[in-house]
Amino acid sequence: MTDDFVQKRYLSIAEFCERYSIGATSARELLRLNKIEAVKLGVRTLICVQSADAYFASLPRLSAS
């Protein structure tokens, strides 16, 4: 991960997928289900990093059993 990712407030879908290690289909599904927030800039979809971080922080944790 580069320092560029740390400072960005919005990520393209490709950048989001790289940062969170998920596929584009899963990213679009999260958007469709309103699990993460995004804005449109022309034809580009930009995902809000704060929203994505909050979503991933809200996921249940695995417990070592």
Residue 37 is classified by DSSP as -
The residue ranges of DSSP E strands in the chain, in sequence order, are 10-12, 38-41, 44-48
**Res. 1: pLDDT tops 70:** no
State if pTM tops 0.75.
yes
At which residue do the structure tokens 């969170």 appear? Answer: 20
> What are the pLDDT digits (tens) for 2-23?
555 557 899 999 999 999 999 9
What percent of the chain stands above pLDDT 70? 89
